[in-house]
């Protein structure tokens, strides 16, 4: 197991499958019990002994997202909205007043700062706002949301990320 140097809190756990070794990418330092665990964001192929020293690095196309994690992510965001864990989103809701508010992945700086609407790959979902208040039951996951893009792996706002990690534990 090792932590991503450029992204503290993101861990790679080496796991042997029946065909080849893979890295189970996770937000938890503890290795998952299986590669299908909800704690695994996705899988990346790990180099075999024969591939060490060759140019066989895994790319974005090699990343296999875990649908179980994805579902837990969406449920955690919806529950986090219901519990009001993200004051930043609550403040944005007051400026929207009535309409829809996107919950953006913050791996992309422009979407993080609110300078623009995030790309469909970076919109986790949308939630209805009425009279400046978030209506959590209206949260709808964005089907085009990707757990991993060229900008990196899933990164929610700090409060939602902390809430997700607690749910993963």
* Alpha helices per DSSP H over the chain: 67-83, 87-96, 109-113, 158-168
62 secondary structure, DSSP code: G
Mean pLDDT of the chain: 91
81 and 144 housed in the same domain: yes
Domain end, chosen from 65, 94, 120, is at 65
Give the rounded percent of residues in the chain with a pLDDT score beyond 90: 80
148 and 95 housed in the same domain: yes
The tokens for 8 are 């503290």
Range of 96's domain?
67-168
109 and 156 housed in the same domain: yes
* Alpha carbon of residue 59 to chain centroid: 18
50 and 97 housed in the same domain: no
Q: Which residues pair with 40 in a beta bridge?
A: 26
Among candidates 47, 150, 159, which has minimal Cα distance to 103?
159
Rounded mean pLDDT of 67-93? 97
- pLDDT at residue 168 tops 90: yes
What is the band of 138 on the pLDDT scale with cuts at 50, 70, 90?
Answer: very high
Domain count, the chain: 2
92 and 148 housed in the same domain: yes
User: What pLDDT sits at residue 53?
Assistant: 57
Domain end, chosen from 44, 65, 86, is at 65
């Amino acid at each position: 197991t090792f932590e991503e140097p450029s992204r503290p809190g993101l861990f790679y756990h080496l796991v042997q499958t029946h065909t080849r070794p893979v890295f189970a990418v996770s937000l938890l330092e503890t290795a998952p019990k299986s590669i299908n665990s909800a704690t695994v964001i996705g899988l990346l192929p790990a180099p075999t002994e024969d591939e060490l020293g060759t140019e066989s690095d895994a790319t974005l196309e090699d990343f296999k997202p875990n649908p179980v994690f994805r579902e837990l992510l969406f449920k955690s965001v919806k529950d986090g909205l219901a519990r009001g864990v993200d004051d930043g989103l609550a403040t944005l809701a007051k400026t929207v007043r009535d309409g829809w508010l996107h919950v953006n992945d913050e791996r992309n700086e422009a979407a993080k700062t609110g300078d623009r609407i995030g790309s469909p790959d970076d919109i986790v979902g949308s939630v209805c706002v009425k009279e400046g208040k978030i209506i959590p039951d209206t949260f709808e996951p964005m089907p085009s949301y990707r757990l991993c893009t060229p900008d990196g792996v899933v990164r929610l706002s700090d409060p939602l990320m902390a809430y997700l990690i607690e749910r993963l534990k």
